[in-house]
């Protein structure tokens, strides 16, 4: 009733003011205009009474103070399938299942296979070449050894074998060969039929200047070893990136769930306020219009909970993308619940120690150091190619011979009479042998190719040095920014805690004033929202602090050490 009389009083005052203003402006107003003013006043009073009647007769909305299922429901997840997850477990799942890590791991394996492929040139090669030939040649002269047929026929069967090996040290190579042949002929001039020949020998070639210290093969193998280490550095960098993403996604999910809980608690406060207002309206202590004010705030807070719930789904899906291997996995339907709470420390970070860790550990700098070593290999090789080529060639051969005598003129030494084994016996007596030694000399004029390659390698050396300086500056800036982010987040946690504590005090005082009728619903809602925002700022600051710690680990490449992770390096084949 107080509200009705107050409204009537305001309407009368407005109408009176309007009448006075009209009288002051139009002094010549006639008496016939006064009934029009009375009609306007009567119309305004009727509208106010109608509005009050509508508000009074409007049914109160039904609100469940505890059931928030409709605003907390998330698409694509089954609340019955809940999976707890710690940060350590999340990192382990990422190392096992993350597709980006698997791709980087396969790059290392590919580099290992490429190195083994290049080293295959040093594998010894054993070769056997059996050959049979039949040859019938016409002879136009008796000096050709033909009989009455006017032709000669020969059958040859050879089995030649060899063992080849390229030496890693010195660039030399050797070839051990063992040749065997059986020849039969119809020629009348042949004293043996068949004839058995055996040869056992070795050939060795040794570069003396060019290609002695390093050659193309050894250069490629040395470079591939460095590239294998580079692929390992890339793998470590990719793994650190993924772990950092997992940590950030994990803390984002923690924040989203805490934010959802905070917004839900604020929503429950609105429901409790609505219950109190309904009771006050029923008792006649409050006007029915207060129900609309509380209902509006209730709808706004429901909207905030819906947005917070959506953010939970986004954060959870981001984390699942990093941890789940298969897109059709049943884990996509699970609801993940983080078990780790944000950590906080009052200890500050030493910038110089962080920079030292980064310079010692960052994979990017290690990769550039390896690139500098590759450049050194190129310089050595191209300098070597400027030298003249002088190769030492040597060979030593044991010769064995035996056969079946056809008779005729001449005397054949008895040691040559026999079959294949007689030929082998003569071979190992070493009485018949051959030894050669020589050199291959090649001197290119001007040698522009080697000179140009060497000049290009020198330019690349300067380029790598500049890249290393630039990368180191970038890393130092990242570390300094990361340390600053940690310190800023630490201070934010402290200030947000003080703000939240003061907001709690203000809300408690405002609620006491409201209970005794010395405050309004609007002011109470302001205090409740202020506390909700303060809590949100606190949990955001705590989350950002943990994310800043993760970024600092990434910037200094201490992620493996601080999370007790060991990465096996590829085996170095010396």
What is the per-residue pLDDT across 438-476, written as a single tens digit (0 to 9) for each?
A: 999 998 888 899 999 999 999 999 999 999 999 999 999
User: Chain centroid to CA 10: how far?
Assistant: 70
219 vs 374: CA distance, rounded Å: 9
Q: What is the DSSP letter of 342?
A: P
At 16 the pLDDT is: 47
178 vs 164: CA distance, rounded Å: 12
At 140 the pLDDT is: 61
At 410 the pLDDT is: 58
Comparing 11-25, 325-339, 554-568, the range with the smallest average pLDDT is 11-25
| Res 59 pLDDT > 80 | no
Comparing 49-53, 114-118, 208-212, 458-462, the range with the smallest average pLDDT is 49-53
With contact defined as beta carbons under 8 Å apart, do 475 and 555 qualify?
A: yes
Residues belonging to the chain: 574
Q: Which two tokens stand for residue 238?
A: 């990719």
119 vs 115: CA distance, rounded Å: 6
Q: Which two tokens stand for residue 309?
A: 């719930």
At 81 the pLDDT is: 86
Its sign, for the CA torsion 560, 565, 566, 570, is: negative
Q: For residue range 156-204, what is the model confidence (pLDDT) as tens digits?
A: 999 999 999 999 999 999 999 999 999 888 776 677 788 999 999 999 9
At 43 the pLDDT is: 61
Cis ω before 201 (30° cut-off from 0): no
| Res 28 pLDDT > 60 | no
Strands 82-85 and 335-338: parallel
Give the mean pLDDT of 96-120.
91
DSSP element (H, E) containing 314:
helix 289-323
* Average model confidence (pLDDT) across the chain: 84
User: Chain centroid to CA 49: how far?
Assistant: 71
- Number of Cβ within 10 Å of residue 518's Cβ equals 10
Residue 9, class by beta-carbon neighbours within 10 Å (0-12 exposed, 13-18 middle, 19+ buried)?
Answer: exposed
pTM of the model: 0.75
Band (pLDDT 50/70/90 cuts) for residue 292 is: confident
pLDDT cut 70: percent of the chain above it: 83
Band (pLDDT 50/70/90 cuts) for residue 572 is: low
At 236 the pLDDT is: 93
Give the mean pLDDT of 69-89.
81
Give the mean pLDDT of 535-556.
94
With contact defined as beta carbons under 8 Å apart, do 108 and 235 qualify?
A: yes
Q: How many CA atoms lie within 13 A of 498 on its CB side?
A: 4
352 vs 133: CA distance, rounded Å: 81
């Amino acid at each position: 009733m107080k509200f009705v009389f107050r409204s009537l009083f305001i309407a009368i005052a407005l109408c009176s003011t309007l009448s006075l203003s009209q009288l002051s402006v139009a002094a010549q107003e006639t008496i016939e205009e006064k009934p029009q003013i009375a009609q306007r006043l009567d119309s305004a009073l009727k509208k106010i009474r109608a509005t009050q009647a509508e508000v009074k007769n409007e049914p109160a909305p039904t609100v469940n103070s505890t059931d928030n299922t409709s605003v907390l429901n998330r698409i694509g997840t089954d609340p019955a399938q809940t999976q707890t997850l710690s940060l350590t477990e999340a990192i382990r799942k990422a190392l096992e299942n993350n597709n980006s890590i698997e791709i980087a791991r396969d790059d290392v394996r590919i580099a290992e296979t490429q190195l083994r492929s290049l080293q295959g040139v040093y594998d010894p090669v054993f070769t056997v070449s059996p050959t049979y030939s039949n040859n019938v040649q016409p002879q136009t002269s008796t000096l050709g050894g033909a009989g009455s047929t006017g032709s000669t026929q020969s059958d040859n069967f050879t089995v030649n074998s060899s063992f080849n090996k390229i030496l890693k040290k010195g660039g030399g190579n050797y070839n051990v060969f063992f040749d065997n042949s059986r020849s039969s002929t119809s020629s009348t001039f042949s004293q043996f039929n068949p004839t058995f020949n055996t040869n056992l020998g070795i050939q060795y070639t040794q570069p003396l200047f060019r290609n002695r210290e390093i050659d193309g093969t050894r250069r490629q193998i040395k470079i591939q070893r460095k590239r294998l280490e580079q692929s390992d550095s890339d793998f470590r960098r990719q793994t650190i990136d993924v772990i950092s993403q997992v940590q950030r996604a994990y803390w984002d999910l923690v924040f989203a769930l805490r934010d959802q809980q905070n917004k839900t608690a604020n929503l429950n406060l609105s429901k409790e306020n609505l219950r109190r207002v309904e009771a006050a309206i029923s008792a006649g202590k409050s006007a029915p219009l207060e129900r609309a004010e509380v209902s509006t705030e209730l709808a706004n807070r429901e909207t905030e909970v819906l947005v917070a719930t959506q953010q939970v789904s986004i954060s959870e899906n981001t984390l699942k993308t990093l941890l789940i291997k298969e897109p059709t996995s049943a884990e996509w339907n699970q609801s993940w619940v983080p078990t780790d709470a944000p950590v906080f420390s009052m200890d500050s970070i030493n910038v110089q120690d962080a920079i030292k860790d980064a310079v010692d550990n960052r994979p990017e700098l290690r990769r550039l150091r390896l690139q500098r070593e590759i450049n050194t290999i190129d310089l050595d090789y191209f300098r070597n190619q400027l030298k003249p080529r002088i190769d030492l060639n040597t060979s030593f051969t044991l010769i064995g011979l035996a056969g079946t005598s056809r008779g005729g003129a001449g005397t054949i030494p008895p040691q040559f009479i026999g079959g294949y084994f007689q030929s082998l016996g003569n071979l190992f007596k070493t009485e018949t042998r051959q030894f050669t030694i020589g050199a291959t000399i090649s001197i290119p004029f001007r040698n522009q190719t080697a000179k140009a390659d060497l000049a290009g390698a020198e330019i690349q050396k300067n380029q790598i040095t500049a890249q290393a300086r630039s990368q180191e500056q970038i890393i130092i800036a990242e570390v300094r920014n990361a340390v600053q982010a940690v310190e800023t987040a630490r201070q934010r946690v402290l200030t947000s805690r003080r703000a939240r504590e003061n907001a709690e005090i203000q809300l408690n005082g405002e609620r006491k004033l409201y209970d005794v009728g010395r405050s309004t619903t609007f002011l109470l809602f302001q205090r409740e929202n202020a506390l909700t925002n303060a809590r949100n700022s606190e949990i955001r600051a705590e989350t950002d602090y943990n994310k800043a710690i993760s970024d600092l680990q990434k910037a200094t490449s201490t992620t493996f050490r601080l999370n007790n992770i060991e990465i096996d390096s590829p085996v170095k084949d010396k």
